[in-house]
Structure 1
Amino acid sequence: MSGQPLPQFTAAGQPTTVLARLGRATGRHPLWWVLGWLLAALTSFAVAVGGVTGESLFERLTSGEPRVPGQSQTARELIQRAEPSLDNLMLQVRGASLDDRPSVAAAAAATGRLTQIPGVAGVRSPLLSPEGPSDPAVRPLVADGSPEQGAFLTIVDLEEGQDEAELSVTRSAVEDGFGDVVAALPGATGSVGSYHHVLKAITSTIESDLLRGEGIALPLTFLVMVLVFGGFVAAGMPVLGAIVSIGGALLSLFGFSHAMDLDATVVNIVTLLGLGLSIDYGLLTVNRFREELAVRPGQDPTRDDAISAAGRTVATAGRTVLFSGVTVAIALSGLLVFEAEIMRAIGLAGVSVVLVAMVVAVTLVPALAVLGARRLSKRSFRAADDTGLFSRLATAVQRRPFSVIAGGLVLLAALAAPTLDLRLTASGTELLPVSAPQRVFFDTLRTDYPDLAAPQVTVVARSPDTAEVRDALERFRDQPGVTGLDVRPLGADYQLAGFRVAGPPTSDAAQDLVTALSDLDPGFDTWVTGQAAGQIDFLDSMAEGAPWAVTLVVLGTFVLLFLMTGSVVIPLKALVLNVISLGAALGVVVWVFQDGNLEGPLGFTSVGAVESMVPFLVLAFGFGLSMDYELFLLSRIVEEHEGGADNDRAVALGLQRTGRIITSAALLIIIVFAGFIAGDILIIKQMGVALVAAVIIDATVVRMLLVPATMTVLGRWNWWAPAPLRRLHRRFGLTH
């Protein structure tokens, strides 16, 4: 790719590096490389999606709020140990005439038969009460506590210890029994729900989102690359490489699912990154291959020409791809230091996907290019001229660098301003669209059967005395938003206290109550749990790991850029600009999803907050992509500067030589991410918007304006480094 200095060459003009030898080896046997990769891709899709091993990746996924060790998790474990929760199925019936005794009796008989199904531990229904739905003891199972509403709830608990096959049989039999209950009530309708159904709905939606996202992204990127390359053959090579990379990504995720619980959202997040990088890397590789074929314009390339071009391509563009992959991997490796398993899973899976994309770019894509060398040579071209649109842009910026810097920073600050009011949440069924059946089921459950809903904030107290615990917690009844408090024994040595709080589970009132309860010292041990408590523990854990993650990413990136540029100023400037641009991208997410702007066009309903994982993932993924483009531009600027150009000339030439590539790559990756904005899962939609915003901001305001402006102002100080570091760079620098 243009943007990397050429490696050392032999007298015959051939590169001597390991990458060059790999490129020539690929060029000599391109068909075998292509067939091998296609076989690997087919195998990957068959294992990960086709379920040839008995289950697919999507069947192994989990879902739920991110959890970390802490008081919330300890409280959950204490409750589960004392009162193991059973898997269950729920039936909501609406439109029933509960004063119609014959039909109610028939429905009660059908409900009673549910208890006889193998694997059923118990059934709770107002129809089983001797007094029927009017019995005060079963009022929590009647909608609004009023039989006149004609709506009630039946809960079937399933026995512990059943394997997945047995549970499947039991669930199927129970759902058939639910159908008999509804059929016995003329005019009634029924809906079935459970957390198993929610997980199934989320994973199936993610699977359809993945297909939809790729169905949008791949054709559009192909069309754009046809315009970029001016031909179908060249355009198809990066797309084919991306498809193969997706197969490898899904297979790696399938492997990780056997080593750790893999949240359903990880699949789309990681696949989205792999798809974008694969297309970017393929674009760079094919672009450089065509440049190398331009040595003999107007003539068909020989086999030796194609092999030589493959060697030079992998030695140059392949080297850039490897540096780029390392940059992205460094950013994603920052996720590995966090306690939350889901963050480590995304980090590990992300790094593995980057590796797949890198290997595909330096083997499969060059092999495809060699096979299509004759067609590519018809439209081959040399490197960009010294003057053009991007060099003129750089010259215009260099005339008024201070004005450009001020205007750019003001724009980024305005975009970042909404982050000052950032609110975080961890959604459950809210991840699904409001029209999704399971979302509707649980929204109705919370509205019509409030007494069955778990308290928003729960306290586990180590004390055998219920009265003692009640007295200690009574003072918190006056907390803003608290609407009720219940205390009951939890086994012999513990008490379980539940606070009901107005508003959603992660409301300010719930979080304030958790904070106040956590500071309580009543003379006995207490642990606070609930969705708000879990989110606080998660964010505290992330805050604890953040300094280590930032240190790892910043240090790794700084070292990489120093070895490339020989400067300590350029890496510092790049880090600062990238952080500012990521803040602007996060501000866009807050403005859209928290404030509820663009709900109609983007097809979502705001929950008044941003998913708690999104800011951390935006910083990791966005930082990697931003440094990716920074590397493409800086590498060429450094090459021109070391070739004798002064600072301003090197900046203008660097922008001219890489502007077209960066713009094309950014456009393609925007299309990829935009394809996932069309999905239905909220966190995927938020990530798509965030990364689209990050790429647009970085490829325009930062890379085209702020980088040349700041490098113009700094002048020769761009290239400054202490003498010991200059000596270190002369020995180990990546540009030599």
Structure 2
Amino acid sequence: MPAHPVPEPSRATRPAAPPTLLARLGRSTGRHPLWWVLAWVVAALVSFAVAVGGVTGESLFDRLTSGEPRVPGQSQTAREVIQQVEPSLDTVMLQVDGAPLGDPRALEAAAVATGRITQLAGVVRVRSPLLSPQGLDDPAVRPLLAGGSPDRGRFVTIVDLAGGRADSELAATRTSVEAGLATVVEALPGATGSVGSYHHVIKAITGTIESDLVRGEGIALPLTFLVMVLVFGGFIAAGMPISGAVVSIGGALLSLFAFSHALDLDATVVNIVTLLGLGLSIDYGLLTVSRFREELSVGPGGTPTREQAVVAAERTVATAGRTVLFSGVTVAIALAGLLIFEAEIMRAIGLAGVSVVLVAMVVAVTLVPALAVLGSGRLSRRASRSVEDTGAFSRLAASVQRRPFVVIVGGLVALAALASPTLDMRLTASGTELLPVSAPQRAFFDTLRSDYPALAAPEVTVVARTSDTAAVRTALEPFEAAPGVTDLTVRPLGGEHQLAAFQVEGPPTSNEAQDLVTALSQLRPGFETWVTGQASGQIDFLDSMARGAPWAIGLVVLGTFVLLFLMTGSVVIPLKALLLNVISLGAALGVVVWVFQHGNLEGLLRFTSVGAVESMVPFLVLAFGFGLSMDYELFLLSRIVEEHEAGADNDRAVALGLQRTGRIITSAALLIIIVFAGFIAGDILIIKEMGTALVAAVLIDATIVRMLLVPATMTVLGRWNWWAPGPLRRLHTRYGLRH
């Protein structure tokens, strides 16, 4: 359908913006820009000093944890029973390679050094083949020897530390134990040793995340600055969104530090939330600076007066600021959906994400306009009507409007093809697999699993409430024949429970392990049982997420629909936007499955596939990706609505809206892709998956959806885009949000 040549009302004839709250905020920012900038500089310095500098005695990275997500269920119940009867001990392990186990003198010296470790304060038990009175031929020490034999010259020493002590005492004990283990290796000529523990894994993950964060921002910020120099044609304008992004990152880290005192924050939360804050800040800053320059161009040539800069700030915050607030509230609604889930890590990400979005919003409508006013002289040099009514994007809109049905069918087919890999998506919850294969702690535990299988934690564990060990064994023996099961042991767990451990081939969340958990969960042997282990925890987590998903989706859909209705006065546009976003997110998840589960691009992206996608990723992609998709939807829709309210008909409003936001959306998409690509370059697997998913979501949304499907569907629907039932029209007339 061709665009109708309805003339656009000139800016000079448009009515002045009403003195809304945002307009008043913009005027205040314009009149006192230096005070706003100084306030934000102080806030940023304090944020970084507290969250990263450790001025309070510890930094955010000192307070992070790591582990599989946990939710209420039989797996968690079983863990609590085990913990109550046999509190878990902090363990330090030593793997020795190349030891001269046939040299009696070396063995004696190493045994003496190992014996000294047993005398250290805080050490509960030391398990080592060197301490066996019967020597290395003792059957009891075979699990501690690689291959069950001393011939390989490799063995393990395990030191159990007493728990329930102050962190400083535990740290001192670890240091003493590791020093003692080093003397054991020194007593064995030619031997090498490596130390591993859960504590070391946490340090490795948090340390890697910290370095990934620095690396990601080190890649993203300079590249985005260079791109914005090209977009704005100057260093001053380009630096404004970057300055806002840096301040937002400080606020993000400070909010995470605060939440870490109320919640156990998983280490991956930091990069996920910071990534979002950085991307949104750059998007919002780009939109704000572009609109300020456009508003500044209305005045006469030459250096703008102070009042002209103030008016430009007022109009910018009233228009672009309105879009920023709409977008921010929409992203916050999407992240608020995470608060409904039972998993604490999802709630933590939701809370932290909402707080980061709020910081990015406030920065965009205060700090960035204030910087723009201070730099208005430089901005005005290139402000000669930066957005015209015709151009590449209006021509694209006209081309789409000539063949809308072809565009719609082609776009949907492309999205369906991208989404197709999700049909066989498998989920997992990795531990050390989050680290790259080359990481010392990943290598330590990979070697432990392959060379000392008897020491590996059982893939599936059953806790039975009964004192009859024989009855438990009788009930569970049929499951020894289940696919993948290699061993079953049953022992008493205190006086009232029994503990049964199944060893299963393959990874802890393999199909065999999950099938075994499902079968054991249906067992009714006459006494109460609970199944735990990584596979069981994974099943409980997904069941919990499935229970919360309808409520979370309902909250996000309802909140977004209401917000878009208040902005557009239409019920058709919100429904279409929601539908297109769901389809594009499905395509983004398909890309993640194709890359990470199927193992494509392993060399390029530097990862080793675990044959599945991390269990949190789909839910986080739906929350974060939905918010980012609506970000661009609002950039485009707000301008289309603005032109439609100014008198343009449907097709003309779509063409003008696309022309005036196409460059911004394209630039914003390119910048946010750079941001997320910086995190794909990191080493933590889940961060790579999130970065890849969001790059795919932004790329798909800013091209296929926003540039093609949105104008095509709006052309087909015509005046029906703006339809709403009579009662809702009257409601919008009274309460709708307008420019």
Per the normalisation by structure 2, the TM-score is: 0.97
Select the residue among 119, 141, 144 that pairs with 1:141.
144
Corresponding residue for residue 72 of structure 1: 75
How high is the TM-score relative to the length of structure 1?
Answer: 0.98
Residue 441 (structure 1) aligned with residue 439 (structure 2): no
| 1:509 pairs with 2:512 | yes
Counterpart position of 2:562: 559
* C-alpha distance in structure 1 between counterparts of 2:347 and 2:119, whole Å: 44
Quick one: which of 616, 619, 622 aligns to 2:619? 616
Matched residues in 2 for 1:617 and 1:589: separation? 13
Residue number among 430, 435, 453 corresponding to 2:433 in the alignment? 430
Instruction: Specify the alignment match of 2:528 in structure 1.
Output: 525
Indicate the SS of the match to 1:446.
helix
Corresponding position: 1:700 with 2:703: yes
Deviation at 1:280, TM superposition (A): 0.7
Q: Which amino acid aligns with 1:104?
A: L
For the 8 Å contact 1:297–1:377, the answer to whether it is kept is no
1:604 is paired with a residue whose SS is coil
- Determine whether 1:169 maps to 2:166: no
Task: Select 1:474's aligned residue among 469, 477, 481.
Answer: 477
Q: What is the rounded CA distance, in whole Å, between the counterparts of 1:715 and 1:305 in structure 2? A: 38
User: What is the alpha-carbon distance in structure 1 between the residues aligned to residue 472 and residue 588 of structure 2?
Assistant: 47
Are residues 1:244 and 2:247 paired? yes
Match of 1:337 among 319, 340, 348: 340
Q: Shift of the alpha carbon at 1:607? A: 0.4
CA-CA distance at 1:530 after TM superposition: 0.4
Q: Please give the per-residue CA displacement for 1:176-198, whole angstroms capped at 9, x wherever unaligned.
A: 11110000000000000000000
Q: Secondary structure of the residue that 1:440 maps to in structure 2?
A: helix
CA separation of 1:724 and 1:546: change in aligned 2, threshold 3 A: same
Amino acid at match of 2:366: T
Distance 1:578 1:12, change over 3 A: closer
Structure 1 equivalent of residue 5 of structure 2:
none
| AA of the residue aligned to 2:180 | G
Using the alignment, how far apart are the partners of 2:13 and 2:707 within structure 1?
A: 37
Deviations 1:243-296 (A, max 9, x none): 011001000000000001000000000000000000111111111111122133
Q: Match of 1:281, SS? A: helix
Superposition CA RMSD, Å: 1.6
Deviation at 1:107, TM superposition (A): 0.3
Give the 3 Å change call, closer, same or farther, for CA 12–424 of structure 1 in structure 2.
closer
Q: Matches of residues 116-127 of structure 1 in structure 2 within 5 Å?
A: 116-127=119-130
- In the other structure, the counterpart of 2:463 is 460
Measure how far apart 1:119 and its partner are: 1.4
Structure 1: stretches of 5+ with no match in the other structure: none
What is the distance in 2 between the residues matched to 1:75 and 1:14?
A: 63
- Which residue does the alignment assign to 1:224? 227
1:410 maps to 2:413:
yes
How far does the alpha carbon of each residue in 1:416-473 deviate from its partner, in whole angstroms, 9 at most, with x for none? 0000010000000000000000000000010111011111100001111111111111
> Which residue, out of 679, 682, 685, partners 1:682?
685
User: Displacement of 1:534 after TM fit?
Assistant: 0.1
**After alignment, is 207-216 or 17-26 more displaced?**
17-26
Paired letter, 1:291: E
Q: Percent identity among equivalent residues? A: 81
The partner residue of 1:31 within 13, 30, 34 is 34
Paired residue type of 2:182: G
User: In the alignment, what sits opposite 1:113?
Assistant: 116
Q: Which moved more, 1:67-76 or 1:309-318?
A: 309-318
Contact 2:299 2:308 in 1 (8 A): no
Q: What is the correspondence of 1:13-412 to structure 2 with a 5 Å cutoff?
A: 15-382=18-385, 384-412=387-415
Letter in 2 for 1:476: F
Equivalent residues, number: 731
**What's the CA shift for 1:732?**
1.1
Which structure 1 residue ranges, 4+ long, deviate > 3 Å from structure 2?
Answer: 8-15
Equivalent residue for 1:633? 636
SS in 1 for 2:699: helix
Structure 2: which amino acid aligns with 1:277?
Answer: L
Alpha-carbon deviation of 1:29? Answer: 2.0
Contact 1:120 1:158 in 2 (8 A): yes
Name the amino acid aligned to 2:102: D
AA paired with 1:412? L
Give 3-state SS (helix, strand or coil) of 1:498's partner: strand
8 Å contact from structure 1 (residues 585, 697) kept in 2: yes
Aligned to 2:585: 582
SS of equivalent residue, structure 2 residue 53: coil
> Which of 701, 714, 719 is the equivalent residue of 2:717?
714
Displacement of 1:381 in angstroms is 3.2
Amino acid at match of 1:319: R
| 1:486 and 2:489 matched | yes
Check the 8 A contact 1:10/1:16 in 2, yes or no: no
Amino acid paired to 1:403: V
Matched, 1:659 2:644: no
Write out per-residue CA displacement over residues 661-708 of structure 1, whole angstroms, 9 at most, x where no aligned residue.
111111111111111000000000000000000000000000011111
Q: 2:17·2:318 contact (CA, 8 Å) conserved in 1? A: no
Confirm or deny: 8 A CA contact 2:458 2:502 kept in the other structure.
yes
Are the aligned partners of 1:15 and 1:312 in contact in 2 as well (CA < 8 Å)?
Answer: no
Task: Give the C-alpha shift of residue 521 in structure 1.
Answer: 0.9
Query: Does structure 1 retain, via aligned residues, the 8 Å contact 2:88–2:163?
Result: no
Give SS of 1:497's match.
Answer: strand
2:160 match: secondary structure: strand
SS at match of 1:487: strand
SS class of match (1:459) = strand
User: AA paired with 1:196?
Assistant: H
Shift of 1:14: 6.6
Tell me the SS of whatever aligns to 2:498: strand
Q: Which moved more, 1:716-725 or 1:500-509?
A: 716-725
- Shift, 1:481, TM fit: 1.3
Distance in 2, matches of 1:393 and 1:40, equals 44
Shift of 1:128: 0.4
Residue-by-residue CA offset, 1:307-342 (whole Å, 9 max, x unaligned) = 222111111111111111001001101000000000
Deviates more, 1:712-721 or 1:100-109: 712-721
In 2: Cα distance, 1:716 partner to 1:362 partner: 33
Distance verdict in 2 for CA 1:465–1:453, change over 3 Å: same
C-alpha distance in 2 between matches for 1:709 and 1:10: 31
> How many Å separate the matches in 2 of 1:513 and 1:286?
58
Deviation at 1:298, TM superposition (A): 2.9
The secondary structure found in structure 2 opposite 1:485 is strand
What displacement does 1:639 show? 2.2
List alignment gaps of at least 5 residues for structure 2. 1-7
Distance 1:628 1:271, change over 3 A: same
In the aligned structure 1, how far is the partner of 2:16 from the partner of 2:23? Answer: 12
Task: Report the alpha carbon displacement of residue 400 of structure 1 after superposing the two structures with TM.
Answer: 1.2
Deviation, 1:160, is 2.0
Q: 2:214, 2:543 → 1: CA distance?
A: 36
Whether the aligned pair in 2 keeps the contact of 1:91 and 1:193 (CA below 8 Å) is yes
Name the CA distance, whole Å, in 1 between partners of 2:138 and 2:341. Answer: 51
Determine the C-alpha separation between the residues in 2 that align with 1:623 and 1:81.
42
Separation in 2, partners of 1:121, 1:296 = 79
Give the whole-Å Cα distance in 2 for the aligned partners of 1:579 and 1:13.
38
3-state DSSP class of the match of 1:210?
A: helix
Kept in 2, the 8 Å contact 1:141–1:449? The answer is yes
